[in-house]
Amino acid sequence: MPHTWDPDRYLTYADERGRPFVELLARVGAERPSTVVDLGCGPGNLTALLRDRWPDADIRGLDSSPEMIAKADAVDGGITFEVADLRTWANAADPVDVLVSNATLQWVPGHLDLLPRLVARVTPGGWLAFQVPGNFEEPSHTIRRELAAAAPYAEHVAGVAVPSSHDPAVYLAALARLGCDVDAWETTYLHVLTGPDPVFTWVSGTGARPTLQALPDDLRPRFEEEFRRRLRAAYPERDRRVVLPFRRIFVVARVSTGSTGSTAEAP
């Protein structure tokens, strides 16, 4: 079931959402890559950091959301942005030296099976780096699932997009089988949020968005009210602050030099 993205809503907690990207990028060892692609670039604010890191590279940002790309087009920095499905791109694109994907693959069903195609799109000696959330058993997600499974909501949200991911060891094993040198790890951030119902604001811009959009106008307010109430109970406010634990999974893979193609320089 299709859904749309609201870039401004997504950017409400831009600093918190951006920190994993910075930490992922720090582990990529490419020095002077010719081509860098950001798969699932969103509003482009983080893609701009790729220009800071590799000023001489041809940098492209791809996202399936026209709304996100429209926002990204306003980013100043000589970056090319375009609307594209990463699954189609993985089939047809020329190899690149650095391929980055931040908080995107969790939206691709069966994305573990996509990894061989992504590795094939990276030049020998190049880098594949991605980060996905690993917090889907936290109340921010389980409450939504429980509420959405109940009447009268269930019939309206059947088949909506639901994000999912794997543990670091699963990604490490899959990429090692493809001949990559792999660094995989996880981090749980403790985001300190402020404002009214901040956890609802966070999830309504990402994981809960497809569910909320699928509900008819006469049911959505009731769903949101109960969702907010349960989230407040799960994430109580103290001193006008709410702590949101958020587990993230990181993977950085160096592609084998055993095949033909150009090589991105690295230490």
- CB of 102 closer than 8 Å to CB of 129: no
The predicted structure's pLDDT at residue 26: 95
User: From CA 227, how far away is CA 74, in angstroms rounded?
Assistant: 34
User: From CA 49, how far away is CA 67, in angstroms rounded?
Assistant: 20
Structural domain boundaries in the chain: 7-254
pLDDT 10s per residue in the chain (267 long)? 455 655 555 556 667 888 899 999 999 999 999 999 999 998 888 999 999 999 999 999 999 989 889 989 888 778 999 999 999 998 876 899 999 999 999 999 999 999 999 999 999 999 999 999 999 999 999 999 999 999 999 999 998 988 999 999 999 999 999 999 999 999 999 999 999 999 999 998 888 889 999 999 999 999 999 999 999 999 999 999 999 999 999 999 999 887 433 334 333
User: From CA 223, how far away is CA 14, in angstroms rounded?
Assistant: 26
From edge to edge, which strands make up the β-sheet containing 35-39?
80-83, 58-63, 35-39, 96-102, 122-133, 242-254, 181-193
The predicted structure's pLDDT at residue 181: 97
7-254: CATH topology is Rossmann fold (3.40.50)
